Structure 1
Amino acid sequence: MGDSGEDYTGEDYNYTYACNLEYEDLGKLKVGHQQSEPIHIISVVVYIISIMLGLIGNGMVIWVMAFKIKKTTNSVWLLNLAIADFVFVLFLPFYIDYILRDFHWDFGLAMCKINSFVSVMNMYASVLFLTVLSVDRYVSLVHLNWSRRHRTVHRAWLMCGCIWAMAALLSCPALIFRDTLRLHDHVLCYNNFHMQNGYKAAMIHITIVTIRTTVGFLLPLTAISVTGILLSIKVRNSGGSVHMSSFSKTVTAVILAFFLCWAPFHAFSLMELSIHSSVYLHHILKSGFPLATSLGFFNSCINPLLYILLGKKVRHILKSACLNVTKSSLRELSQSISATEIESVPGTHLDSSPDDYLTSSTL
């Protein structure tokens, strides 16, 4: 296995599945490759921005949805969506370190598997939660009687559990095939399909990409588009009895943001399947794949911004919560200062009763 990378050196870039590597891994084997290339610097900047905005924004959404508002099915969907994004951005520093070390993985085999598993699971969980949110929005507006009987918070949590389980199951290939390889003075974190037969390795790769593109993009896009069209027709034909709320508009923006951010990644993943038969695709993928991946990862910090910009109720809740926290902090600070002043008075103690204090102060 140590010599497998030799098929991808020099300037001819002869792609072969003998390496058992996906393109994003193959690109790291190029002789003379440097992390200082502009594309990778841009990726690092995007990752850093995603971490800062993602931790703060998704943290605030989790706080609001979990503790500051009444539990509804909508808040359950948004809470779990925020949790998926929050956990994902916690692992982004590993990607940053990997790039800045010139694609040298320094965290061991287990973290190589877990890091990839979390990123893939976030993608699946996010799109599945958005799909359920879209279908639930359609049902709640069009089938009122049914939704009043069956649309409960308890069932929403059960559905969330099923979504997490399904996302974890779909992400298992990362735990199975992700591996580390020492190549010269670098350690790569890559996909090792454990196949000496290049055809079988290619089939595994094609199967993984096909499932990821179909379940993680095309089927959800179809379901969301159909429910959106049906809902629009219902609103148009309702004569004003059914209308789109500000929450529905926010959900629409969140869904559009997800598919716009992840569409380039899935497009390049499909192109990657043909790179072994086309040398020209290498240059396109080399430039586009890092940026497409960065854009997909950036989606994890967009949702909170959309909630704040488009959701009046969310803005009001955040404003009230921030004011309450500020007032509470000032109150505690004032009490702390008062206690300090009392302690500084000679002959007084905090555990003294008010009468003792009055007596001692008059002596």
Structure 2
Amino acid sequence: MRANISRSLDQGNYGSENMNVFVANISEMGMNTTYSPIAISPTNVIIAVCLLISFLVGTTINGLFLWVLVVRMKNTVNVLWFRHLLLIFLIVSSIIPFFAVHRLLGFHWIFGNVLCKVLNALGSLGMFFEVFILTNISLDRFFAVCHPIWSQHNHTIPRAQRIIAGTWLVSLLFSVPYLIFRETHEATNRRIICANNYTFFLDAEKTERDVLAYHIQLALFVIRFLLTFLLPFVIIAGCYYKIGKEIKKRRLVEQNGKTFKILITSVASFFICWLPYHLYYASQLLGKLSDGIHIFLSSVMSAGMCFNFCFTSSLYLFVGQKFQQVFKTSIVTLLQRDFADAPFVFVDNINMEDGNDQ
């Protein structure tokens, strides 16, 4: 039963009359409004422990990989892409304990209004930046294969640095709504709620405020869905489709095929892990659905987000490797193989070289 409030609390929304509508929704779900915010349920304990484990794994793995890429590897365009990708993984992984405590206390927010805004804005920043950087990487590989001459003259570190700086800026701008709309409110049951308030600036009748709040919520969802899921999916899928056709047509092969596999793994992980997130928010806009559906979507969404930020980078060690090879080779060596700027060459050239060696 307490899990039901995650749809309104964890990434919740509320509108008119200073949360009266939200409290009414809690009552409709059968929630006892005299519930103490310090009550701890076994379910929330289990989920909080899982979140803390994700925090430990995410910060350790992402921090270690980022250290290797910064300290032990040559500065190349490919390394630069993944340095910033791992940086955003590390940032988001590091804020998970706040949400673990939030869940442990039954969605009672104890960290104040500023952190309510900032921490949720950081989560939004991670989502936007990750999908934008993955799109940039996919376009970079597309030009390397399909337009090699252009790529040879433009595949430079200064250009990549400018693109990454622009990606950070755009991602920050799209995360601003969380700084504006997210805020805390004390409900009648002494629970401190951290949720989106879309009507705090509106001076209108209750019905009109509710309609305007819904339209704002819908607009933000559509923008988020288009920019972080649908359009990137079309662009990335199109890039890899063209890359596959060009490789087959020109009989090309990447000297380090593992780099390409890692890109595919990163992109697949992103879309698989974030699909429940968009389904969850879509369900909020569709109206009342069964509690079971909301619980399921909320749980899958949380698991997907944690896996995406905390465990995706660890897959890099296993893509294209036999399991035992991972433990026989140093992490530095593995990552040097993974993130090298591997060129594409003609298959015929490889065959000729093999023949000469013989």
Alpha-carbon distance in structure 2 between the residues aligned to 1:28 and 1:67: 54
2:106 is aligned, of 79, 102, 108, to 102
* Larger CA Rg, structure 1 vs 2: 1
Shift of 1:6: 3.5
- RMSD in angstroms over aligned alpha carbons? 2.8
Tell me if structure 1 keeps the 8 A contact 2:48–2:101: no
| Aligned twin of 2:76 | 72
How much does 1:318 deviate?
1.9
1:52-63 → structure 2 map (5 Å cutoff): 52-63=56-67
1:247 aligns with 2:259: yes
The yes-or-no answer on 1:81 pairing with 2:85 is: yes
Q: Deviations over 1:87-109 (max 9, x none)?
A: 01111111001111111111111
d(CA) in 2 for partners of 1:131, 1:102: 37
Structure 2 residue aligned with 1:229: 241
Cα shift at 1:244 = 7.1
SS in 1 for 2:61: helix
Equivalent residue runs for 1:7-156 within 5 Å: 7-11=24-28, 36=41, 38=43, 40-41=44-45, 43-156=47-160
Superposition pairs of residues 173-322 of structure 1, within 5 angstroms: 173-183=177-187, 184-193=189-198, 194=200, 195=202, 196=206, 197-240=209-252, 245-275=257-287, 279-310=288-319, 318-319=331-332
Query: What secondary structure does 2:316 align onto?
Result: helix
Q: Which runs of 5+ in 1 are unaligned?
A: 14-26, 323-363
Q: Deviations over 1:162-202 (max 9, x none)?
A: 11111111111000000101112211111111244100000
CA contact (8 A) 2:279 2:297 kept: no
CA distance 1:117–1:139, shift in 2 (3 Å) = same
Gaps of 5+ in 2: 1-17, 336-358
Q: Once the 2 structures are TM-superposed, how far is the Cα of residue 282 of structure 1 from its aligned partner?
A: 4.2
After TM superposition, the score normalised by the length of structure 1 is 0.77
When normalised by structure 2's length, the TM-score is 0.78
Amino acid at match of 1:309: F
CA distance in 2, matches of 1:95, 1:110: 15
Give, as a single letter, the amino acid of the residue that structure 1 aligns with 2:315: L
C-alpha separation between the residues in 1 aligned to 2:64 and 2:320?
Answer: 14
- How many residue pairs match? The answer is 305
Deviation at 1:270, TM superposition (A): 1.2
Q: 1:317 to 1:35 in 2, by over 3 A?
A: same
> Distance between the aligned counterparts of 1:2 and 1:141, measured in 2?
54
Aligned-pair CA distance for 1:129: 0.8
- Return the offset for 1:239: 2.5
* CA distance in 2: counterparts of 1:240 and 1:321, whole angstroms: 24
Aligned partner of residue 70 in structure 1, secondary structure? coil
Shift of 1:44: 2.3
For 1:217 and 1:105, the matched residues in 2 are separated by 29
* Local SS of the residue matching 1:3: helix
